[in-house]
Amino acid sequence: MAIGTAYWLFQYPIFERELDWFSSTFNAPFVTQFILAYTLVFFVMAWLLLLLSRKWADHWLFKKPVRNLFLFYTGMLVLASYAPLPRPAWLSLWVILIIAGKYLWFLAYALSNRGKEKTPVSLIELFHFQPFWGSTNVPFPKGEANLRKIEAKSPLDLATVQLKGLKLMLWSSLLLLVFSLFDQIVFGAHGFIDPFLQGLPVLPRLNNVIHQYLVGKVFPRSICWMVLVANFLRILLDVSSFGGTFVATCRMCGFNALRNTYKPLEAKSIAEFYNRVYYYFKELLVDFFFYPTYFRFFKQHPRLRIFFATFAAAGFGNALFHFLRDITLIIKLGLWNALAGFQTYLLYCVILGTAIGVSQLRSIGRPPQNRGFLSTVFVLFFYCLIMVLDDPLRSWSIIDYCSFIINLFLPFAR
């Protein structure tokens, strides 16, 4: 595992794209030259932090280590954004923040485990920060402590898990192929079947449709709806294929990880779909936002307690995760403008958090099989529509997006 991680860290660090962008934007070639040195600085800092959190577990700093980690990271973002630092210090601080941002949730899992582990900090904990089976900013499959729990315990377990891994790898590879074909045929993306598709009509991307709408060149409503559905299917195929590949490789290494995406089109409620589509992101929100809120607030009001905890996770946690994830936008736009540009995504989180909260309350004590086909259609319709607000560019206002959505429904709108 250590060798695999070292190889991936050296060859394909998950922060490479952001650092390349940073280096060229600010004309700082030394960033890419010293990438390994910066990475080592971060890993030494992370190791020291884990060491101190175990040694001084009762110190006020480490009583709530995850909360303090995020407060510290946010403080550093403010410092890097507004403090008049000399250029080399300013550049270095941003580089460390970019690298730390990629591993933030890995560190959070490692810190949250510090009270439960009596063993000293092992290097394996750090190696898990970039598992060689792949990951996004979301740790697959959760933290290193979880990895030890799901490790195959006997040769029979190992064989079973590896076979499950192989099966999932075949399925994920098939999905990857379908995703690639879908992207090429439906959206005209470049790829290996280009020569056969010359001259065939393709759909525009959702961002393009919204942009055209805002400059007054409205696509026919039927095209808009087709784009919405195709965009939703594309995202679903993308998440299923990359998540499946990570989990399959992890299984082939002997860890019985649960699937990331599991039959999302069979979901009968909004909450169930969220649970089925990107399991490890949902688990991250549950572990760091849902449970802590649930145990802290509204103990005397069971339904409000569940709703509030769900909203804290799917609304607030989701917003925080994505705001910190898109650190290049913070650098590009400035902290304040990045926050202002986040308004549409914030609305997305509020709607999603509320919808999942209500859906959770409705599903308590109710057998899922009692809900019919129409429930599935409603769930898919909801997610198709809400994805309009899942704005990656932070370029338009809430009013622009809402006006586009209204236009989808009103026959007399432009």
Q: Among 15, 246, 290, 345, which residue interacts with another protein (rule: CB under 8 A)?
A: 290
**Interface pattern 136-165 for another protein (x via CB under 8 A):** ----------x--xx---------------
Q: How far is CA 320 from CA 23, 101, 339, in A?
A: 26, 12, 11
**Interface pattern 216-255 for another protein (x via CB under 8 A):** ----------------------------------------
Q: For another protein, give the closer residue by CB, 70 or 291.
A: 291
CB of 379 to another protein, least distance (A): 16
Q: For another protein, give the closer residue by CB, 70 or 262.
A: 262
Q: For another protein, give the closer residue by CB, 115 or 254.
A: 115
By the rule CB under 8 A, 135 interacts with another protein:
no
Cβ atoms of 114 and 50 within 8 Å: the answer is yes
Q: For another protein, give the closer residue by CB, 112 or 249.
A: 112
Q: How far is CA 31 from CA 20, 27, 143, 192, in A?
A: 8, 9, 29, 35
CB of 277 to another protein, least distance (A): 13
**Interface pattern 114-133 for another protein (x via CB under 8 A):** -xx-----------------
CB of 108 to another protein, least distance (A): 15
CB of 68 to another protein, least distance (A): 15
107, 109, 115, 119 alpha-carbon torsion, rounded to 10°? -70
> What is the footprint of another protein within residues 88-117 (CB under 8 A)?
115-116
Q: Among 2, 48, 177, 258, which residue interacts with another protein (rule: CB under 8 A)?
A: 258
Q: Which stretches of 56-154 are DSSP H helices?
A: 60-63, 65-82, 87-112, 123-127, 144-149
Q: Among 167, 299, 301, 362, which residue interacts with another protein (rule: CB under 8 A)?
A: 299
Nearest Cα neighbor of 183 from 230, 239, 135 is 230
> What is the footprint of another protein within residues 343-372 (CB under 8 A)?
360, 363-369
What is the DSSP code string of 155-182?
HHHHHHHHHHHHHHHHHHHHHHHHHHHH
By the rule CB under 8 A, 256 interacts with another protein:
yes
Coil, helix or strand at residue 414: coil
Coil, helix or strand at residue 255: strand
Number of helical (H) and strand (E) elements in the chain, helices listed first: 22, 0
Distance, CA of 349 to CA of 356 (rounded, Å): 10
**Interface pattern 369-388 for another protein (x via CB under 8 A):** x-------------------
Nearest Cα neighbor of 116 from 65, 154, 68 is 65
CB of 207 to another protein, least distance (A): 33
CB of 37 to another protein, least distance (A): 36
CB of 115 to another protein, least distance (A): 5
Give the residues across from 151 on adjacent strands: 255
By the rule CB under 8 A, 291 interacts with another protein:
yes
Q: Among 76, 286, 358, 387, which residue interacts with another protein (rule: CB under 8 A)?
A: 286
Q: Among 294, 307, 311, 348, which residue interacts with another protein (rule: CB under 8 A)?
A: 294
Cis peptide before 141 (omega within 30 of 0): yes
Q: For another protein, give the closer residue by CB, 17 or 296.
A: 296
Nearest Cα neighbor of 345 from 300, 392, 298 is 392
CB atoms within 10 A of CB 339: 14
Coil, helix or strand at residue 326: coil
Distance, CA of 289 to CA of 321 (rounded, Å): 11
State residue 143 phi and psi, 5-degree precision.
-85, 180
By the rule CB under 8 A, 67 interacts with another protein:
no
CB of 146 to another protein, least distance (A): 8
Interacting residues with another protein (CB under 8 A): 115-116, 146, 149-150, 256, 258-259, 271, 275, 282-283, 286-287, 290-292, 294-296, 299, 302, 306, 309, 360, 363-369
